[in-house]
Structure 1
Amino acid sequence: MATLPSTDPAARDAVPELCRIVRLGTVPYREAWDLQVEIADRVRRGLTPDTLLLLEHPHTYTRGRLSPDTHLASRGAEIVETDRGGLITYHGPGQLVAYPIVRLRGRGGPHWYVRTLEQVISNSLVEFGLATSTVDGLTGVWTADGRRKLAAIGVKIAGGVAYHGFAINVRADLSMFDAIIPCGIADRGVTSVAAELSGRAELLTVDTIADAVARHFCTAFGFKPTPDETGQ
């Protein structure tokens, strides 16, 4: 069972400037969802700092609140109905999943938040020499030509605290997307960082992308990171 490391009550006064970076390895989707809800409540009450969870999921298809009620061939993956925004997407090994659990009051609204997450993803991937773009009217981060999706975003905001987040296809099995219309977008493809940087793919891991994401996330939000449960 994934658990959040305990927080020193003395740190509560510094909550606005701290962000806890927690690396969880591979966690089942429902377990990570329950953990997010728990942390969101603690963040809302000022009992723990804003938090960034970094992890992978086993093969999972998730339906957002706007997903049509249609049959889905699971291909052996778990299917989960979620409370996040957006439509259906896939999570699985080789994909970095980032769940920021942050207070938005005094920072910006939902549109600002999603655009900021897109910038965090783009800035992170640029470190590896991958040019990216955003597409007007579509959420997420795409290849430079806007034809193939690299990262999907789906969030929920409750009581001024955002949770759920984004997923970057680092070395994901792209064939798993064949069973769905990812995020309801039928006229564009899905790709991975490794596929786009095939000549340097051996240098790419979920952990190396996670390092970049943690840095750029803290920079974008003005956070001071605190060590995760591994002491890194």
Structure 2
Amino acid sequence: MTAPSERKPRPCRLLDIPLLDYREALELQRSLVDARHTGRLDRDVFILVEHPPVFTLGRRGGLENLTVSQEILQRRGIPVVPIERGGNITYHGPGQAVGYPIVHLPSAGWKVVAFVEALEEIMIRAAADFGVSARRDVRNRGVWVQDRKLGSIGIAVRHGVSFHGFALNAVVNLEPFDWVNPCGLRGVQMTSLARETGRRDLDMAAVRRTVLAHTARILGLDFQPADPAWALRQAQPTTDTTSPIMDHLPQRTRS
């Protein structure tokens, strides 16, 4: 799969956020989707972020695929968050490059299946930049290295606008994946770029850069870096700097 060569890059606001609580990122996404739909936002937004440890449940559920008690997760301080994306249970944590494209699919000329394939292609090409040969697998969306899953995908579409997205395992701690049947698949081992390359010193900043480069190229986006506080003002015009989301934004990104 390749992005159409004739596609003219579309202006897109880029929110490059080092670390943000998952529930705060979800609130931000939903607000941006509404703003994009109603026209308060006149262009798409791409969020690149990492999350503190969290399990998320897609529309297919997933608690039945949790292999440890929720009490154990509570002791570890890892929440379980039900959400509206496709798919089953998965884990997010630091060292995982998570991309959330807030894209108005009709105006960008994307069909949902082709858009999901494009997100897979981003991860495949990013992995190749680190010498890892990843591929698709008919069993489940995402990208794989042989029988090991390297990256996951789950999106939702509301009013023609996509949200949620993909998660590429770079230097993430893989242990929490052992506490679930990831994406509802039994007997599947998760892997990471660090594990596949044997490089414990893999540079997460380099991973994020290559993910952004391939995202821009494959989705046909012309990134315009933006401050997350700008996004909040666009998404929620009445939001002030006492917003709960603002409390979790890195100090250097606040305006």
Bin of the TM-score, shorter chain as denominator length: 0.7 to 0.9
Secondary structure, counterpart of 2:187 in structure 1: coil
CA drift at 1:136: 1.6
Paired positions, count = 212
CA drift at 1:203: 3.4
Counterparts of 1:45 and 1:121, CA distance in 2: 31
* Match runs of 1:1-232 below 5 Å: 17-48=10-41, 49-70=43-64, 73=69, 74=73, 75-106=76-107, 107-143=109-145, 145=146, 147-198=147-198, 200-205=199-204, 207-229=205-227
Counterparts of 2:99 and 2:202, CA distance in 1: 20
Counterparts of 1:168 and 1:65, CA distance in 2: 21
CA drift at 1:46: 3.0
Letter in 1 for 2:188: R
Counterparts of 1:119 and 1:32, CA distance in 2: 24
CA drift at 1:103: 0.9
8 A Cα contact 1:194 1:204, kept in partner: no
- Pick the structure with more strand per residue: 1
Counterparts of 1:68 and 1:79, CA distance in 2: 10
8 A Cα contact 2:63 2:89, kept in partner: no
CA drift at 1:69: 4.5
Gaps in structure 2 of 5+ consecutive residues: 1-8, 228-251
Counterparts of 1:138 and 1:210, CA distance in 2: 24
8 A Cα contact 2:88 2:183, kept in partner: yes
Secondary structure, counterpart of 2:29 in structure 1: helix
Secondary structure, counterpart of 1:163 in structure 2: strand
**Once the two structures are aligned, what percentage of the paired residues are identical?**
35
Letter in 2 for 1:138: N
1:145-185 CA distance string (max 9 Å, x none): 2x001111010001000000111111111111111100011
CA drift at 1:188: 2.2
Gaps in structure 1 of 5+ consecutive residues: 1-15
Letter in 1 for 2:202: L
Q: TM-score with structure 2 length normalisation?
A: 0.78
For structure 1, which segment, 68-77 or 217-226, has the greater mean C-alpha deviation from structure 2 after superposition? 68-77
Letter in 1 for 2:27: D
- Root-mean-square deviation (Å): 1.8
Letter in 1 for 2:156: K
